[in-house]
Amino acid sequence: MNGPTSNRRQPFRFLLDAHSGVPAYRQIIDQVLAATAGGALKAGDQLPTVRQLAVDLSINPNTVMRAYRELEIRGVLATQQGTGTFIAPTEVRPDEAERQRRLSHLVGEFAARVGGEGFTLQEVIGRLGELLAEQGRRK
């Protein structure tokens, strides 16, 4: 029953940011990890084929294959020959090292973006200090 009242979820869509400075394979990995942690992708959900995702994102299939392979090594994906690639039936919980790596990555991206807007890191650090103080006063 797939009518307008059906409760089927919309398929997950990958989006790449060519201006982020983050390699495409890394963006795919990060999006799958975030989607599984956030519930947008659940155990058993099927991902697009390597070829289909490469076409959809206009990238080389080897890039998609690299991302899928790394996710499979981590136990996030399970590939069944002839059937497809699926979210593995395990809960994704980033360990502390992965969490810190992700934080470093985000801070690096943020620093590059604010630098591109003409702000110095000192200005940013000053503003972050102000935000921290404001947050402390609210508690």
> What is the Cα–Cα distance from 89 to 43, expressed in whole angstroms?
5
Mean pLDDT of 62-76: 94
Q: At residue 101, does pLDDT exceed 60?
A: yes
The DSSP annotation for 50-87 comes to: HHHHHHHHTS-HHHHHHHHHHHHHTTSEEEETTTEEEE
Q: What are phi and psi of 78, to 5 degrees?
A: -130, 125
Higher pLDDT, 37 or 52: 52
**DSSP classification of residue 12:** P
Report pLDDT for 135: 79
Q: What pLDDT, on a 0 to 100 scale, did the predictor assign at position 59? A: 97
- List the chain domain ranges: 24-87, 96-138
Of the pLDDT bands very low, low, confident and very high (cuts 50, 70, 90), residue 10 is low
The pTM of the full predicted model, rounded to 2 decimals, is 0.61
pLDDT class of 58 with cuts at 50, 70, 90: very high
- Amino acid at the residue 139: K
pLDDT at 117 over 90: no
Architecture of domain 24-87 in this structure: Orthogonal Bundle (1.10)
Q: Is pLDDT at 69 greater than 50 in this prediction?
A: yes
Inter-residue contact 77 to 71 (CB < 8 Å)? yes
pLDDT in the model for residue 121? 83
Q: Pick from 52, 59, 51, 71: which is nearest to 11 by CA?
A: 52
